[in-house]
Chains A and B, each alone.
Chain A
Amino acid sequence: MGSNMAEAHPVAFANVVKAKERGAKVIHVDPHYSRTSALANLHIPIRAGSDIVFLGAIIRYLLENNAYFHDYVLHYTNAATLIREDYRDSEDLDGLFSGFDPETGVYSDQSSWDYQRDANGQPLTDPSMQHPRCVLQILRRHFARYTPEMVEHVCGVPHEQWAQVMDTLIENSGRERTTALCYAVGWTQQSKGVQIIRAGTIVQLLLGNIGRPGGGIMALRGHASIQGSTDVPTLYDLLSGYMPQPSAQLPQQTLAQYIATAGQKTGWWSHLPVYIRSLLKAWYGKAADEQDGNCSYRWLPKITGDHSHLVTSYAMLDGKVRGYFLFGQNPAAGSSSARMQRKALEQLDWLVVRDLYEVESAAFWYKGPHGDAVDPSKIKTEVFLLPAAASTEKEGSFTNTQRVIQWRDKAVDPPADARSDLWFVYHLGKRLKELYATSRKRQDQALLALTWDYQREEPETNSYILDEPDALLVLKEINGYYVHPSAHTIGRRPTYTLRDAPHIAGFAALKADGSTACGSWIYSGVYPEPGNNRAASRIAAGYPPLQWGYAWPANRRILYNRASADPQGRPWSDRKKYIWWDEQQKQWTGYDVPDFPLSKAPDYIPPPGATGMDAISGNSPFIMQPDGKGWLFAPKGLKDGPLPTHYEAVESPVHNAMYHQQSNPTAKYFKDRPDNRLVTVADANYPIVITTYRLTEHHVSGAMTRWLPWLNALQPTLFAELSPELATERKIKHGDWIVISTPRGEIEARAMVTRRVRPLRINEHVVHQIGLPFHWGFQGKATGSITNDLAHTVLEPNVSIQEAKAFMCNVRSGRLA
C-alpha cells in the first residue's frame, strides 16, 4: 500500500517477484494502476487519502471476529495494558482526543493517554483483556465505525475486494504463515502519514507479523541511503543513532538534564548516557574529557523549533535565512510548492549547490519553467555551483531499506573539478578551523574542538586527487574506538588518536565514562577490527545472509526477533522457526543474531522497581519500548493522537464521513501564506483528486536522469494519466496537451488517457482521480512542467512532510500561453 515498488524500487521488487513465484500472494492497494499492480495477484484502486479507513476496517474485522493472533497480542503487545481513566477517545470527542488545545492546534496535554501505573510506575494490565480501559477494548470501540460499508463509501473499494484482502491476510498470518506490509511515500506524504503507518502497525501486531521471518513493515525509502541519512542523520531533530537533538525549548541545558528528559528509565534507551557520551567523545575528542561531559554537551546546537525543510523554506522566504547548502537536493523542482521554493531561494545572500549538473536550483536566478523570463539583476543570491562526484566516483557506504550497510568502492576518478561530498565537507571544515584558529570567542570553541583528522596516510593510487580524505577513517569513527587503554587512565596520557585507537567490537563495549568514542552507536560493530570492514562483505550464502553487508544493530536482520518465538521461547511453528530459547545452553539462539539479552530466560519476571533492561520481562520482545511491548496504543511520542483516526486530506472532494473533524487538527497549515491557498472541501473549481508518483525511468526531479539521452528517450515528457471517462467529460483526447491547475499554479502535460485510472464511486458521487509523475523541470536535456508547482505546503505534525499524494486540481484541454 502506498508504494509503487516495482517502479521506484525495481531491484528490491525482484524479491517480491521471487516470493510470488514461491507462492506468496501480492496485493497492491494504490490509487493508480502501476507496473507494481501489473505483477500483483490483485490490485485495488483506492481513493488517495483514505488509507486509514481501509486499514481501520481490517482492524475492526480482526477484533470483532477474534481473528487476531491471540497469544501474540496478549503477550507481546500492550493490548492488555490499562489506559488512564481520563483518556477520551475520538469516539467521545468526534474526531479529537483528550488534551487538544484548539487555540494552538496541538495536543498540549498528552498525560491522559498514558498507562495506569502502580506505585513503581509499572503499567497495570488485565490479562483477560476484558477491562473497559484496556487497550484492546479501547481499540474495539475506536474502530467500531470503520466498517466495510465505510470502506465502500470513503475509499471507493467494493466490499468483495476488501473482503478478499481481509481473507488473504488472515489466511497468511498466524503460527505457520506471515505477511509483510510494504509502504512508501504514498503513505508518508500525507497530512496524517505517521498515523497511516501506525494503522499498518496495528494490523501487523494483531496478526502477529512483527519480529518474525516474512513479516514486518517495510518502509521503502525514497533514495539510495536515505536510511543511512537518518541513522547518521542529516535531520535537524536527531543526533546519530536516533538520539534526539537537544532542544532549547526543553529543560536540556546540561547533559544530566538531557539524559533525564530524552532517556528512559526502563528498556534499551536506559543506555542513552553511554551513547551520548561516546558521541561527544567522537566529535570533540580531548575537549570532551571533563567528568560530567557538560562542556562538550553545551557545544551541541539546540533547536528552537521546527527547522524542517519546508519550514526553513518559509523562513528563507521571509529573509531569515542568509546562506544555504544543497547537497544533491533540488528544491526548485523536487520539493513541494516548488514555485515558493524558487522564490525563497531568491531571498538568500548565497547558495552553494553541489550536484552533477546545473540543476533547477542552481539556475533559478536566470531561468524559469516554460521559458519564463527571470531577470538576474533583480536577484541578489550569489550561487556557487560546485561539481559533485557520482556514486561510482567515490568511496563510501549505502544503507538500504533493510538497514543493511553496504560499502561501495570507487570505480573511477570524478571528472575535472568534481569532488566527493566527503572531500568538500572535510576541506570546508579544515578551512573554517584555520579561519577561526586564533579565536578566543566561546561560540567558536566548538568548531575548534571538533575532531577533524581524516587525511589519508598516502594519496590513493592511480588517482589524480591527492587530498581525498579517508572514508574508512570516518567509518572507524562511526563504528567507535577506545580513547584510553582503560577507565583509570582517563585524563592522562597516553590517549589514542582516531588512527591508532583499537576498534570497538560492538555497542555493548561502549562506556559512559568517556573512555570510548562512537559516531553512531547503532552502527557499532560494522568495523570491529582493522582490515575487517563488514559492510564490504559480500557473501550471499546463509539464512539469513549474515555476511552480506552489515545490518545495524549488531548485524541483526530482523528487529525484535524475540517475537519469532512464543512466550515460552519455542518457535511459533517449525515453518517459521527463527530465534528460540536453548534450554541446555540457557541462552537465546537461532538463525539470526537474537534481538534480546542473550541469557534472559523467557520466564524472567522483573522485580518491582527494576530499571534499565532489568525491567523488561523475558516475554517482552520490543526492548526499545520502556514496557517491552508492541504498541497498539501509543501512550506517548505522537503529536496527533494515540490511535490512527481517519481525517480527510487537507484538500478533499468530500466531507469526512467518519467525524466532524475534517482534516488532521494538528497539521501545520500555513494558512496565512498567500502562496499556499488551499482548496475548500468539495470546491467545484477543483473537483479532481490528484496524486503523484515516480516512473522507473527517472529519479525524483530528474536532476540526475534528465541529462541522459538514453533515459530521456524512454520517458521524454511529462504526462498526466486520466480515465477515459474523465477525458470524455472534459473533451480531452489521448495525446492532447492539457493544463492542470491548483490555486498554487498551473502546469501543462500530455494526456495519457488510460483505463489504468478509474473513476471511483464515493458516497454515490463519481470522483475522478488523475496521476502525474514529477520528474521534469526547466533544466536538463528533456524539460517539462514542474509537477511540484501544484502541490501545497501543509505538513504532517510529527515529521513535517508535505501532502503530495492527495490534493485537488482541475484539468482542461490546451497549453499554457
Chain B
Amino acid sequence: MIVETSQRTTSPELVQNIVSPLLKQPVPPMQPAMGFFTDTSICIGCKACEVACKQWNELPANEAHWSGTSYDNTRQLSATTWRHVQFIEQIGRERPQISTLPFFNNDRWLMHSDVCKHCANAPCQEACPTGAIIRTEFDTVYVQQDICNGCGYCVVACPFGVIARDEHASHTARKCTLCYDRMKDGIEPACAKACPTDSIQYGEVEQLKALARERVGLLHERGVSEARLYGVDDNMLDGGLNSFFLLLDEPAVYNLPQNPSRPSNNVVPASLWSIVTALVLSLLGIFFFSNNK
C-alpha cells in the first residue's frame, strides 16, 4: 500500500529547504574508486540493463517509437535513459581466408551497452557552476538533484552526450548515478546485476582495468584483432574513465569520440585570447579618446 502523504511545507522547513543547499555537509570517508567495465564481446543485446536501470531508478519509459536502426529503438542516452544498447549490423564483410572457426562470426552484429563514463576528470563536473555535480566517495560522478538548478552547462560540456536536462519532470540535469544508493549498501548497480552474461561488470576500477587488459589480450590471442579498450588509459580526458569499454571496432562505429578534448582545458587559451583582445580594444579606445586632434 502506498500511503498518500499530503505535505504542507511549514515555514521552518521552508527556511531549511532554502538554506541547507548552501551549507556544506560532512564528507563521507573515501572508498576505493568503483566503476563499470562493459565488455561488448559478450553482450547479447538483451537490454536487461536498460530495463533494470529504469526500474531501479524509477525512470519513465521512452516514447514507444520504432526507429528502424536495427533493434535499437532507444537510440540515445538521455535524462531518463541511463543505459542504452546499440546494435550495429556488419553483414557481408570481407571474409578472411582462415581454416579454423573464428571466435566471432565474420558477419557481425555488434551490441554495446552505453552508459555514463564517470570520467576521472569529468567535464560535466568541471563545468557545473552550482557544485551540484560532485565526485562521491567512490570516485563516481553524481548529480545532486536537490542542488542542480538546470543551467544546462554540463549538457554541452559532456563530450559523450551523456548528461541531459530532464525537460519533463525534474528540469534538472540527470544521468547514471552508478546506483549510488545501491553502492552505499554494498550491492552492485542494477544493470550489472541484471546482465546475464556479465558483459557489464562492476568493481574497483583498478582491478577492472587489469581485467580489461587481460581480456583484450585474450581476444587478440584468439584472433579478434579488432578488439580494443576504450577509456582505460589515462590519456583519455587526462585521467581515463572509471566506466570503460571493450569495443570490437573503432570507437566512431559506436559514436564514441576517439580522443575527446577536455573542455576545461579551453578556458586558459580562450581567456588568453580574450585578454589580448581586451588589451587591443582598450588601447584602441584610449588611443582614439586621448587623441583630440
Given A38-B108, A716-B64, output 13 extra A-B contacts at Cβ < 8 Å.
Answer: A7-B46, A13-B197, A25-B101, A35-B45, A35-B109, A38-B45, A38-B104, A40-B105, A709-B60, A714-B50, A715-B73, A719-B66, A750-B66
Within 8 Å CB of B16, what residues of A? none
Q: Is the C-beta of A431 less than 8 angstroms from some C-beta in chain B?
A: no
Which residue, B45, B64, B107, has most C-beta atoms of chain A within 10 A?
B64
Within 8 Å CB of A696, what residues of B? 44-47
Expressed in whole angstroms, the Cα–Cα distance for A750 and B71 within the complex equals: 13
Return B64 CB to nearest CB of chain A, in Å: 4
* A-contacting residues, B219-237, CB 8 Å: none
Within 8 Å CB of A735, what residues of B? 68
Q: Is the C-beta of A402 less than 8 angstroms from some C-beta in chain B?
A: no
Whether B44 and A39, one on each chain, are in contact in the complex, defined by CB atoms closer than 8 angstroms, is yes
Expressed in whole angstroms, the Cα–Cα distance for A351 and B79 within the complex equals: 45
Hey, which bits of chain A sit against chain B, CB under 8 A? 6-7, 10-11, 13-14, 17-18, 21, 25, 27, 33, 35, 37-43, 164, 168, 695-697, 708-717, 719, 734-735, 750, 752, 754-756, 781-782
Expressed in whole angstroms, the Cα–Cα distance for A13 and B199 within the complex equals: 13
Within 8 Å CB of B104, what residues of A? 38-39, 41
A10: contacting residue among B48, B64, B89, B109, CB under 8 A = B48
Q: Is the C-beta of B286 less than 8 angstroms from some C-beta in chain A?
A: no
Given known A6-B44, A17-B42, A164-B101, contact A716–B66 (CB-CB < 8 A): yes
Expressed in whole angstroms, the Cα–Cα distance for A781 and B44 within the complex equals: 26
- In which size bucket is the chain B interface? 35 or more
A710: contacting residue among B51, B66, B68, B107, CB under 8 A = B51
Expressed in whole angstroms, the Cα–Cα distance for A411 and B102 within the complex equals: 45
In the complex, 16 of the A-B residue pairs with CB atoms within 8 angstroms, ordered by the A residue number, are A10-B48, A13-B44, A13-B196, A17-B42, A25-B101, A37-B105, A38-B104, A39-B42, A39-B104, A41-B104, A42-B101, A42-B102, A709-B61, A710-B51, A710-B55, A711-B51
Given known A713-B74, A716-B73, contact A38–B68 (CB-CB < 8 A): no
Q: Which 4 A-B pairs have the closest CB atoms?
A: A709-B61, A755-B91, A716-B64, A38-B109
Closest to A28 in B: B105
Q: Is the C-beta of B26 less than 8 angstroms from some C-beta in chain A?
A: no
Closest to B102 in A: A41
Expressed in whole angstroms, the Cα–Cα distance for A10 and B198 within the complex equals: 12
Q: Is the C-beta of B264 less than 8 angstroms from some C-beta in chain A?
A: no
Return A9 CB to nearest CB of chain B, in Å: 10
Whether B55 and A714, one on each chain, are in contact in the complex, defined by CB atoms closer than 8 angstroms, is no
Expressed in whole angstroms, the Cα–Cα distance for A310 and B230 within the complex equals: 53
Expressed in whole angstroms, the Cα–Cα distance for A714 and B105 within the complex equals: 25
Q: Is the C-beta of B63 less than 8 angstroms from some C-beta in chain A?
A: yes
Within 8 Å CB of B45, what residues of A? 6, 35, 38, 696
Whether A712 and B47, one on each chain, are in contact in the complex, defined by CB atoms closer than 8 angstroms, is no
Whether B111 and A35, one on each chain, are in contact in the complex, defined by CB atoms closer than 8 angstroms, is yes
B42: contacting residue among A21, A168, A695, CB under 8 A = A21
Whether B44 and A756, one on each chain, are in contact in the complex, defined by CB atoms closer than 8 angstroms, is no
Closest to A717 in B: B66
Whether A755 and B92, one on each chain, are in contact in the complex, defined by CB atoms closer than 8 angstroms, is yes
Given known A33-B107, A35-B109, A756-B89, contact A714–B197 (CB-CB < 8 A): no
Q: Is the C-beta of B54 less than 8 angstroms from some C-beta in chain A?
A: yes
B61: contacting residue among A7, A10, A39, A713, CB under 8 A = A713
Within 8 Å CB of A719, what residues of B? 66
Within 8 Å CB of A7, what residues of B? 44, 46
Closest to B199 in A: A17
Expressed in whole angstroms, the Cα–Cα distance for A717 and B102 within the complex equals: 35
Q: Is the C-beta of B62 less than 8 angstroms from some C-beta in chain A?
A: yes
Within 8 Å CB of B109, what residues of A? 33, 35, 37-38, 756
Return A122 CB to nearest CB of chain B, in Å: 45
Whether A17 and B66, one on each chain, are in contact in the complex, defined by CB atoms closer than 8 angstroms, is no
Whether B105 and A17, one on each chain, are in contact in the complex, defined by CB atoms closer than 8 angstroms, is no
Expressed in whole angstroms, the Cα–Cα distance for A769 and B54 within the complex equals: 36
Whether B54 and A710, one on each chain, are in contact in the complex, defined by CB atoms closer than 8 angstroms, is yes
Expressed in whole angstroms, the Cα–Cα distance for A717 and B73 within the complex equals: 10
Q: Is the C-beta of B70 less than 8 angstroms from some C-beta in chain A?
A: yes
Within 8 Å CB of B46, what residues of A? 6-7, 10, 35, 696
Within 8 Å CB of B197, what residues of A? 13-14, 17-18
Expressed in whole angstroms, the Cα–Cα distance for A33 and B104 within the complex equals: 13
Expressed in whole angstroms, the Cα–Cα distance for A6 and B47 within the complex equals: 12
Whether B73 and A713, one on each chain, are in contact in the complex, defined by CB atoms closer than 8 angstroms, is yes
Expressed in whole angstroms, the Cα–Cα distance for A39 and B70 within the complex equals: 16
Within 8 Å CB of A27, what residues of B? 101
